[in-house]
Structure 1
Amino acid sequence: MFRNRQFIGELISEFVAVFIIIVIGDSVAAMYTLYDPSPYKTAYWGVCIVWGLGVTIAIYVTGAVSGTHANPAVTLALALYRGFPWRKVLPYSAVQVLGGMAGAAIVYVLYAPVIDHFNQLHHLDRLHDGGAAGVFFTHPGDFVTPLHALVDEAILTAILLFGIFAVTCEYNIQAPQANSGALIIGLLVAALGGSAGYLEAWALNPARDLGPRLFCFLAGWGPSALPSPGVFWWVPIMGPLLGGVVGAGAYQMLIRPYMPRRQPPVLVETLPASDAAIRRSS
């Protein structure tokens, strides 16, 4: 009974984590996209920081319950390399996507009239033009094809998981302690956005993209959301999943084996008799 209750708590925690990230992140995307002049057009770093803070807040809120994967790529990597139970992978991933849908719904409630005004002003249609879709989910930037975006997302997510595995490695004596690790992970997300976000809006997370995309499909964007122009919808799913496996595996193979292992304290009773006598006499 306790195990079932704990597992339900973990699923709720993962739902809430992604919900928080999307409410904060998609709201700043709305501020960036829908307003003219935008408060962020000449301060894009602010968008990245807000996304990163969304991740940080989600970890502080839910980390003690589920560890705050908040990302199917993280869940998969933890199952592959750090003993996370495989039976939990699909349930975690499902509620992460649902959290993304719920977060997008709240952003829509907040910004619906602004979205409608933006589309009217720019003569855009949700269904055919995907008007204001960038508020909710990702798409290729200028000169970026879906295939190139797949490579981009794999590389960026590999860097993300490499960093997360480093920050959370129990042998890494240079990693921040538990109370500050969330901030470092949030800054890592912000750094990736600040250095590569214009490529395809740095999804890095299948739930971050698929959840809002599913909501938009139901909320009037239709084929602009799924399958989306260029059938792009699968790229922010497969790219992060592949990249997460590679990045986490790289840390496990290249760095972790050389970390200093913490040794248990040496007891006098376990020393040779001569050494024990020396200890007692000193």
Structure 2
Amino acid sequence: MKVEYRRALIGELISEALAVAIIILIGDGAAAMITLYDPSPYAQAYWGVCIAWGLGVTIAIYVTGAVSGTHANPAVTLALAFFRGFPKRKILPYWIAQVIGGFIGASLVLQLYHPVIDAYNAAHGLTRATGGAAGVFFTHPGEHITPIHAFWDEVILTGLLLLGIFAITDEFNDVAPRANSSALMIGLLVATIGASAGYLEAWALNPARDFGPRLLAWLAGYDQAAFPSPENYWWVPIAAPLLGGTLGAGLYQIAVKPYLPSRSKSGAPGDTDMPVK
């Protein structure tokens, strides 16, 4: 059994790393398209960037969902451990795999775009060390947004993300999408959050999405622009999604799940931490 468990866990961790790598390859690729080119192909169509990120999530779920469930986000892993019976001993390994996936995905984006990044920085009198084209890889506060304000923004937005994910994947929710369509709806949820609030601080929503690429960028010459980053911002996209995701999932468990009609008809227990799978 130990050998089987170890083999299954290895597969899950590979799946999680692959899922985040797919998301970052597509999402940071879209960020490169809007940042590095003038005129940008997304200049008058920001929704295209949002859809790219969302469909990146959808594709990642289709590729890896049958193996690990495609958490692809430490905030999702933590919420599932709190409320849906995900084994707590797997939290740290999943987190590490997810960050590795973010690093790999960002490495692929750097491989694709490094000549364009260097040309962009040269044309604008910038360097990697001063943060030139940093937005391709990691998030930062937008205009008029302080790090503390960004923290609470990310708490709210990640709370909305987990509220939606828990609703979409709840077997007792009769109006939730069924079978493989849930992957598309989760992708559209990510895209919609970006469309409504992405300019605030680039809607991280996911510690691995920010930390993995930020680590790659630091090693690739971004230095203090990546860590600790201006105004010591690096910790915000890590801590805020973990808190917000837990709060959003908890809100669903307390305010929605107990009142689902199909749950009452099924005679399911009244506790709020029954695993879905």
TM-score interval, smaller chain: over 0.9
1-side partners of 2:165 and 2:203: how far apart?
Answer: 16
- How far apart are 1:57 and its partner, in Å? 0.2
2-side partners of 1:41 and 1:94: how far apart?
Answer: 35
The amino acid across from 1:39 in the alignment is P
Greater Cα radius of gyration, structure 1 or 2 = 1
**Residue 35, structure 1, aligned to residue 37, structure 2:** yes
* Equivalence for 1:123: 125
* Equivalence for 2:245: 244
What TM-score do you get using the length of structure 1 for normalisation? 0.92
What secondary structure does 2:234 align onto? coil
Residue 83 (structure 1) aligned to one of 75, 80, 85: 85
Residue 266 (structure 2) aligned to one of 263, 276, 279: 263
- How far apart are 1:263 and its partner, in Å? 3.1
1-side partners of 2:209 and 2:127: how far apart?
Answer: 24
The amino acid across from 1:158 in the alignment is G
Residue 113 (structure 1) aligned to one of 115, 118, 127: 115
- How far apart are 1:178 and its partner, in Å? 2.1
* Equivalence for 2:7: 5
- How far apart are 1:2 and its partner, in Å? 1.2
Deviations 1:127-166 (A, max 9, x none): 1x20000000000000000000000000000000000000
Gaps of 5+ in 1: 265-282
- How far apart are 1:126 and its partner, in Å? 1.0
1-side partners of 2:103 and 2:232: how far apart?
Answer: 20
* Equivalence for 2:213: 212
Gaps of 5+ in 2: 268-277
* Equivalence for 1:166: 167
In the TM superposition, what are the counterparts of 1:11-160 in structure 2 within 5 Å? Answer: 11-127=13-129, 129-160=130-161
In the TM superposition, what are the counterparts of 1:227-238 in structure 2 within 5 Å? Answer: 227-238=228-239
What secondary structure does 2:180 align onto? helix
2-side partners of 1:213 and 1:106: how far apart?
Answer: 14
2-side partners of 1:20 and 1:121: how far apart?
Answer: 30
The amino acid across from 1:76 in the alignment is L
What TM-score do you get using the length of structure 2 for normalisation? 0.94
What secondary structure does 1:178 align onto? coil
2-side partners of 1:16 and 1:29: how far apart?
Answer: 20
2-side partners of 1:194 and 1:254: how far apart?
Answer: 26
Deviations 1:158-213 (A, max 9, x none): 00000000001110011101210000000000000000000000000000000000
1-side partners of 2:162 and 2:76: how far apart?
Answer: 7
1-side partners of 2:266 and 2:161: how far apart?
Answer: 29
The amino acid across from 1:238 in the alignment is A
* Equivalence for 2:274: none
Structure 1's consecutive aligned runs of 4 or more residues displaced over 4 angstroms after TM superposition are none
Percent of pairs with identical residues? 67
What secondary structure does 1:109 align onto? helix
What secondary structure does 1:233 align onto? helix
Deviations 1:79-119 (A, max 9, x none): 00000000000000011000000000000000000000000
RMSD: 0.8
